[in-house]
């Protein structure tokens, strides 16, 4: 398996524009996570899905952020409208489960999308 695949790797956009980040999880993984990396808060969980259903979106900063998972092999994170403070690296990760012990809860990350909003 190629691992978690994110696109694009880099995105530069103007303030006010819509941005869509894409993620393909590892086949067979039933959990998908979106994280944002910032200097102050480290890896901040935005939202996660289980079997394509959003479970916890309490980390989504504002209504400008939305995420979907239309099927088991694809998810999007959308920011509309984008603002300069949204500039960060966004990671997608997938796992077999979120329990404790062994391979459970072990999340595999994509390479991230570096977003710059000017």
Partner 1 sequence: DQQVKQNSPSLSVQEGRISILNCDYTNSMFDYFLWYKKYPAEGPTFLISISSIKDKNEDGRFTVFLNKSAKHLSLHIVPSQPGDSAVYFCAAIQGAQKLVFGQGTRLTINP
Tell me the two tokens of residue 114: 């570096």
Binding residue (CB under 8 A) for partner 1 from 25, 34, 112, 115:
112
Binding residue (CB under 8 A) for partner 1 from 16, 56, 61, 116:
56
Interacting residues with partner 1 between 20 and 39 (CB under 8 A): 33, 35, 39
Which of 19, 116, 10 has its CA nearest to residue 77? 19
CB of 83 to partner 1, least distance (A): 22
The tokens 């869509």 sit on which residue?
Answer: 20
Other residues' Cβ atoms within 10 Å of the Cβ of residue 89:
15
Binding residue (CB under 8 A) for partner 1 from 27, 83, 99, 118:
99
């Amino acid at each position: 398996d190629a691992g978690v695949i994110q696109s694009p790797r880099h995105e530069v956009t103007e303030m006010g524009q819509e941005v869509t980040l894409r993620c393909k999880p590892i086949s067979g993984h039933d959990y998908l996570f979106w994280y944002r990396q910032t200097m102050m808060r480290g890896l901040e969980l935005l939202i996660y899905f289980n079997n394509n259903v959003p479970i916890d979106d309490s980390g989504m900063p504002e209504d400008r952020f939305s995420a979907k998972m239309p099927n088991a092999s694809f998810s999007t994170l959308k920011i509309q409208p984008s603002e300069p403070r949204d500039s960060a690296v966004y990671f997608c990760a997938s796992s077999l489960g979120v329990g404790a012990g062994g391979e459970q809860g072990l999340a595999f990350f994509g390479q991230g999308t570096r977003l710059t909003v000017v």
